[in-house]
């Protein structure tokens, strides 16, 4: 028998559950090239993964709000063309942990700034959607900036509507956006080092783990 010290688990997706960089990075390059902008190099591109794209196109590519909206729409059109689960791999041990948490009766939800339809498509592709009580992601409109706090709020609302106790929630994430967004809701963060975070982004997290085995030790305990 296993149980959890947490009443529910919230998951970031990109960099935590799924590595979609093989598809994300070429699409960002294609979009910026089409706009006549010089795309960032490989070392810089990896830092685009995690924050909302609308924000990244403005802050990192220095596009105007209108140009950034156009860029997000173009990016999402490419993602739809390619298939939302194409070129997406899951991190070792994470799918098994998600299934184990589900089998132990621990409610789970996603809280991702990736568009919600893309999150659902990835989970369905890997037969993980049934393990989640709520699937929360960014809204589909290209001009809407959904922060981590926004999607966390909707994830918590979805869990509460399903009758889940959210008083001892925890978020698993890999970027400082996860730590900052969770802090707005008073939720602790377990920071995973296998994602796309830079050194120091874990500051403020309750715990830091290097692999799924360490994460399991924090999320599940023998009973």
Average pLDDT, integer, range 90-104: 97
- Please state, in angstroms and rounded to a whole number, the distance separating the CA atoms of residues 47 and 66: 22
Long-range contacts of residues 114-123, Cβ cutoff 8 Å, at least 24 apart: 114/13, 114/14, 114/20, 114/138, 115/76, 115/139, 115/140, 116/140, 117/84, 118/79, 118/84, 119/13, 121/83, 121/84, 121/85, 122/13, 122/18, 122/20, 122/84, 122/85, 122/88
pLDDT for residue 20 is more than 50: yes
Domain boundaries, the chain: 2-19+88-222, 21-82
**How high is the mean pLDDT of the chain?**
93
| pLDDT tens digit sequence for 102-120 | 999 999 999 999 999 999 9
Three-state DSSP state, 83? coil
Distance in angstroms (rounded) separating the CA atoms of residues 175 and 187: 15
Confidence class for position 15, pLDDT limits 50, 70, 90: very high
Calpha distance 28→78 (Å, rounded) = 10
pLDDT for res 144: 81
Confidence of residue 46 (pLDDT cuts 50, 70, 90): confident
Residue 60 has pLDDT above 60, yes or no: yes
pLDDT of residue 18: 96
pLDDT class of 36 with cuts at 50, 70, 90: very high
Q: Token pair of 34, please? A: 């089409």
Backbone φ and ψ of 174, nearest 5°: -135, 5
Band (213; pLDDT cuts 50, 70, 90): very high
CATH among 1.10.1740.10, 2.40.37.10, 3.40.50.1000, 3.30.465.10 for 2-19+88-222:
3.40.50.1000
Determine which of 80-84, 135-139, 153-157 has the lowest per-residue pLDDT on average. Answer: 80-84
Whats the size of the chain, residue-wise? 223
**pLDDT for the residue numbered 222:** 54
Res. 223: pLDDT tops 50: no
- The answer, yes or no, to whether residue 45 has pLDDT greater than 80, is no
Longest dimension (CA), the chain: 59
- pLDDT above 90 as % of the chain: 81
The yes/no answer on whether domain 21-82 falls in CATH 1.10.150.240 is yes
Tokens for 90, please give them. Answer: 């899951």
């Amino acid at each position: 028998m296993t149980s959890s010290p947490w009443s529910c688990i919230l998951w970031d997706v990109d960099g935590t559950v799924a590595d979609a960089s093989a598809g994300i990075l070429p699409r960002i390059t294609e979009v910026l090239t089409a706009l006549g902008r010089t795309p960032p190099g490989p070392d810089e591109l990896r830092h685009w993964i995690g924050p909302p794209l609308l924000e990244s196109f403005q802050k990192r590519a220095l596009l105007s709000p209108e140009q950034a909206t156009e860029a997000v729409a173009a990016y999402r059109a490419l993602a739809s063309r390619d298939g939302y689960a194409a070129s997406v791999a899951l991190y070792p041990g994470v799918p098994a942990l998600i299934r184990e948490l589900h089998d132990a009766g621990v409610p789970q939800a996603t809280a991702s700034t990736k568009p919600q339809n893309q999150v659902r498509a990835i989970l369905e592709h890997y037969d993980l959607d049934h393990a989640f009580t709520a699937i929360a992601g960014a809204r589909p409109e290209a001009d809407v900036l959904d922060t981590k706090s926004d999607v966390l709020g909707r994830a918590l609302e979805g869990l509460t509507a399903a009758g889940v106790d959210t008083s001892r929630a925890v978020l698993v994430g890999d970027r400082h956006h996860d730590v900052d967004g969770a802090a707005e809701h008073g939720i602790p963060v377990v920071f995973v080092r296998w994602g796309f975070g830079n050194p120091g982004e874990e500051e403020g997290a309750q715990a830091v783990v290097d692999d799924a085995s360490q994460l399991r030790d924090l999320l599940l305990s023998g009973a």
